[in-house]
Structure 1
Amino acid sequence: MRYTFASLALVAAALASPLPDSVASVPSSYKISNIVSGGSGCPQGSIDVSYTDSTILPIRFGKDFTASVGPGVAPDDSRKNCQLNIALQFSPGWQYSVYSADYSGWGNLDSGVKGRVKANYYFSGEQDQASTTLGITGPFSGTYTKHDDVALSVWSPCGSSAALNVNADVALTPLGSSASGTLVATKESARFTHQLYLKWRQC
């Protein structure tokens, strides 16, 4: 897994959405210990994570995160998903929550085609989940942005480690019609940027 510095665009996005004062309190020790990806939108080994600090985790995906419908397009291409398991290690006595997440991309949808950008957040072994959805209806041609404010009830268990699961997908309907559509989760250079913000508190 290759870790890189965040791009200027990601830094600008973070500055444009300042975190509340409570997020400024973070544990003294914090690191990503492992990230596993899987799914039709992010095959294993296709992601890059730019670790910036203890509150912002920009994640970049490859061009596989593209959904398509239309004549001659296979039904499996109508939905692409990515399941991320992000393992974090931090000082004992803390727990964290996803504070917010930013998505961006583009679409080209004929009239009658409907697109969906969805994300589901949960911690391994916990029942609480948070889910958000953005709908896009054709005709549509251009870029989209999606900002999630995730319910703060979704907190990791108290301890020194926790695994955050993010299941994101892009999807198009209907199938088998003459109308065409493409929906891509992308930031630049045909790559999708998914930026997670973390919120911390002491147990």
Structure 2
Amino acid sequence: MKYTFTALALAALSLASPVPDAAPATAPPSFKIAGVISGGSGCPQGSIDIDYTDSRILPIYFSKDFTASVGPSVAADQSRKNCQINIDLQYTPGYQYAVYSADYVGYGDLDAGVKGIVRANYYFSGYTNQVSSSLAIQGPFTGRYTKHDDVALSIWSPCGSEAALNVNSEVSLTPMGGAGSGTLIATKESARFSHSVYIKWRQC
């Protein structure tokens, strides 16, 4: 099943990482993505794609807008890109879910002295509790990177009602205005930046 925003064609990226063994087998009989809203400097509405294979994996594919850059001639506002995603999941009543891990796949080209950060926050609409995961990439670095993060999230969606999952992602580079140059999460070869979110289920 696939939820796509616009006619903008986004190249799919095959992840080598399987679903972690900790993923529980129990899932609701019915599950679908009813809607997705995105916004921010890194993902204007209509620029991302979510192509999921089952009820436990939410792969998010970003476009070239989600690219941070620094360098002597690069504007300061290009050093950080943000993307706020609101995912409306609809599923059989009597279940709740939580995020328990995430995979990042992307491309970086960083000079010595340039540092890149990829960060994500997870929370449910209407709730203040949230959890973060991040990874740092230190230059010099050139190539594709992959990172698996275990997310110790004990916050479950509410029973008896559906709460949208929010994923706030960010890519940034430092320092700004230095002699070194860097680009993070640029389209490269056959891949765009990908962020797969793994969810677990339980019955209320």
**TM-score normalised by the chain length of structure 2:** 0.88
Report the counterpart of residue 24 of structure 1 in structure 2.
Answer: 25
Report the counterpart of residue 126 of structure 1 in structure 2.
Answer: 127
What does residue range 38-117 of structure 1 map to in structure 2 within 5 Å? 38-117=39-118
| Separation (CA, whole Å) in 1 of partners of 2:140 and 2:49 | 33
| Separation (CA, whole Å) in 1 of partners of 2:181 and 2:13 | 34
Alpha-carbon displacement from aligned partner over 1:90-122 (angstroms, at most 9, x marks no partner): 122211001211111111111111110111111
Structure 2: 5+ residue stretches without partners: none
Alpha-carbon displacement from aligned partner over 1:80-99 (angstroms, at most 9, x marks no partner): 11111001111222110012
Alpha-carbon displacement from aligned partner over 1:148-171 (angstroms, at most 9, x marks no partner): 211131211112422000011110
| Separation (CA, whole Å) in 2 of partners of 1:129 and 1:187 | 32
Give the count of matched residue pairs.
Answer: 198
Cα shift at 1:190: 4.7
Cα shift at 1:183: 0.9
Question: In percent, how many aligned pairs have the same letter?
Answer: 67
| Separation (CA, whole Å) in 2 of partners of 1:64 and 1:53 | 27
Code of the aligned partner of 1:173: T
The answer (yes or no) to whether the contact 1:105–1:184 under 8 Å persists in 2 is: yes
| Separation (CA, whole Å) in 2 of partners of 1:117 and 1:68 | 13
The answer (yes or no) to whether the contact 2:13–2:192 under 8 Å persists in 1 is: no
Question: Higher helix fraction: Structure 1 or Structure 2?
Answer: 1
Report the counterpart of residue 2 of structure 1 in structure 2.
Answer: 4
**TM-score normalised by the chain length of structure 1:** 0.89
Question: Higher strand fraction: Structure 1 or Structure 2?
Answer: 1
Cα shift at 1:186: 5.6
What does residue range 184-195 of structure 1 map to in structure 2 within 5 Å? 184=185, 189-195=190-196
| Separation (CA, whole Å) in 2 of partners of 1:25 and 1:187 | 37
What secondary structure sits across from 2:44 in the alignment? Answer: coil
Cα shift at 1:188: 5.5
Report the counterpart of residue 149 of structure 2 in structure 1.
Answer: 148
Code of the aligned partner of 2:72: P
Cα shift at 1:7: 5.7
Tell me the C-alpha RMSD between the 2 structures.
2.2
Cα shift at 1:179: 1.1
Cα shift at 1:187: 7.7
